[in-house]
Structure 1
């Protein structure tokens, strides 16, 4: 019997626990934080840009923190983004949402990933393992226009601070660790494409982020109770059509539990209302009514990824390359500061 730690959900064939993964990933984030903090001062490009951004933030009264505290927040966001980027790739690799494995995979998929890795360096010997991780991110982004938003170079913190060759190598090696039986330690294969384990990562991946943003995911029974009292009456009043007025928002969406709950309910109601309509059309309509916002960039990234996977599952798509563009409306922002009539 294979002794593999699967991480996405529970039940037969869907994994048992993400606790071991979370513990190991917290170590990876901490190691990356140390590496990125050092590089934020030693790499001139990073130091100059961060100092200029901090000066603008102080001048614009967007922060009252010291430079060290402000920089550490940026470092944490970048470290978490690099780790989560790998988690997104690993989930897509193991569940065949993308064609080729880049980082790892169960069984022959790990060997395939290692062979592609070696071929990459034969063609481009001047690059390093950081470039290979970026190649994996880019492959996922290129597979679908909606997925591209997960690695947007203008907004994803991972592009702002990049790890050293040594730290990138350690991160890549982590995903390829094997157990005593020779099998890969972490297998994300999940027939149900359950992404709830990402809520645990959101809450506990970074101690600094958890304290800064008071991260705490909503229990499922609370989510369902609130949607019963809010979404259901709204549907009765406005109907299902987004153009008719049904728009929902979670202004502090975290890892997206409420967004997925709203989306799931709307898809089912659209199916009941129009049983003969194309699944893609129903999924799109449901997504157009769902909006989210969170101050924490990696929380918003998790919510976007979870909605993307949920949309593909509901539409019956096997791979990202086969899926159309989805209207996923999740923004990074402070809902207490921005909005209609807000200054600046």
Structure 2
């Protein structure tokens, strides 16, 4: 059968074509803003992709392998439908993408295979027998019932690229710190490595460019890691090329030894390194969600539980931003503030939405536009300097996500400076520093995930509460944030913050009741 006719039958039989969230072509709202070229349609569920669709005119294992690797790296859609002449394949979008030479059609990856679909009647019968009976229909996906079926249970989210990347980062962090590096230098080295791998996968940092930057001593990043001097020559040239704030190397060059670089090189080469975790090597960083880069910081967060630092799951951040910056309410000129920005997951998501709003207003997005929106409309604050560093790093990667390789390679392209202009390292309750930083600014949207837990109230926060004659229970920081942030919100703006329900709503002790009465009377 003709491929597009066969796919149409598939969409009709499973009910996908009738969904208002079945989107085709240029209208697909790609997560992260980067389109997967071979995917021409997608089925969404509450703005989250659940299935991608691709049509190929012939069986080409190399193309399918590349397609699956891109879908898997994106970590969003669990189902990948590939329609070929006379056959339909459904791949597991969450199953680890194979290395070259490994079988793509292993049972864990190829969920269903319908072949010999030579005519319409046969196609409809086989779709009914194999797919409808296995609950691939739209209603099962929309209600979530699919995930309780035998077929749904075959899809394991723990095999997604994001989960394996986080696991791998934890492994590398442990090995690097065991080898004598501080947490700060370990994550700086890992973050720098991910940035370079991203540039390599985007085709920006080419073999020729690396050869030139290393004076002929290396042809790839993994090559460079074999020599300490060559590695830091590459870091220095990249710092000069893009922005000195992105690659500060002075603090760690003398502390990072050839042993540390050897560990990183082996990791990038997919060596087991004791635990058997997959390394960075199978990932296509061109399609890794930028917000996931924030999890570099999150892998180090166990040491910060006492400060109330908890990472925000990507889907939860998306949900909050959709509620307050959805397509029906967003304006391209909105200003955004996150008073506890952490590694920047809310700032990156908000920035992406502003870029899309600017584009949908009929504008062509240029590098100058990206810098203007970022420096003029995105502001964050956090007590932790490492988190702020990662937030800047994530925002820089988001800029690259909206540029062509040619635009990035242009000699005039530079990242804007963000530290101390848009991102402040400070206790949010240090009034002098924060007010000096923000001046008289107020914002259209204040978003974020507040510090959680008892005894998270800082000295500055306690002093601020005393000055304001306010009470919060359990020495918890979140209620104090809730009282302070409205000062920085525009009169017709919105505040969308994640806060612990237990302490803000349910606990009945006197300080908690006093806080609730005061807060909810005001707002």
Q: Indicate the structure with greater helix content.
A: 1
Q: Is the 8 A contact 1:296 1:332 kept in 2?
A: yes
The equivalent of 1:77 in structure 2 is 184
Match of 1:220 among 284, 303, 315: 315
- Superposition RMSD in Å: 4.2
The equivalent of 1:170 in structure 2 is 263
The equivalent of 2:227 in structure 1 is 129
Q: Which residues in structure 2 correspond to 1:1-344 (within 5 Å)?
A: 7-11=73-77, 16-36=160-180, 75-100=182-207, 112-113=219-220, 117=224, 129-145=227-243, 148-153=244-249, 158-159=252-253, 162-177=255-270, 186-192=281-287, 194-205=289-300, 207-209=302-304, 214-225=309-320, 228-229=323-324, 240-241=332-333, 247-273=335-361, 275-276=362-363, 279-287=366-374, 288-318=376-406, 320-322=408-410, 324-327=413-416, 328=418, 329-337=422-430, 338-340=433-435
Distance 2:340 2:222 in 1: 42
Distance 2:271 2:69 in 1: 9
Distance 1:211 1:100 in 2: 45
Q: Is the 8 A contact 1:263 1:290 kept in 2?
A: yes
**CA 1:151/1:30 → structure 2, altered by over 3 Å: closer, same or farther?**
same
1:203 Cα deviation from its structure 2 partner: 1.9
1:255 Cα deviation from its structure 2 partner: 2.4
- SS of 2:294's partner is helix
**CA 1:34/1:116 → structure 2, altered by over 3 Å: closer, same or farther?**
closer
Distance 1:261 1:269 in 2: 12
**CA 1:341/1:234 → structure 2, altered by over 3 Å: closer, same or farther?**
farther
Distance 2:69 2:329 in 1: 45
1:289 Cα deviation from its structure 2 partner: 0.7
1:305 Cα deviation from its structure 2 partner: 2.5
Q: Is the 8 A contact 2:183 2:300 kept in 1?
A: no
1:103-131 deviation digits (Å, cap 9, x = unpaired): 9xxxxxxx94289549xxxxxxxxx7333
1:82 Cα deviation from its structure 2 partner: 1.7
1:24-71 deviation digits (Å, cap 9, x = unpaired): 32222122223336xxxxxxxxxxxxxxxxxxxxxxxxxxxxxxxxxx
Q: Is the 8 A contact 1:193 1:313 kept in 2?
A: no
- SS of 1:252's partner is coil
Q: Is the 8 A contact 1:294 1:334 kept in 2?
A: yes
Q: Is the 8 A contact 1:284 1:326 kept in 2?
A: yes
Distance 1:34 1:333 in 2: 30
Q: Indicate the structure with greater strand content.
A: 2
Distance 1:30 1:189 in 2: 24
Distance 1:168 1:272 in 2: 44
Distance 1:297 1:225 in 2: 25
**CA 1:97/1:4 → structure 2, altered by over 3 Å: closer, same or farther?**
same
Gap runs ≥5 in structure 2: 1-60, 81-92, 98-159, 211-217, 273-277, 438-459, 461-523
1:259 Cα deviation from its structure 2 partner: 1.1
Q: Taking structure 1 as the reference length, what is the TM-score of the superposition?
A: 0.63
Q: Is the 8 A contact 1:21 1:186 kept in 2?
A: no
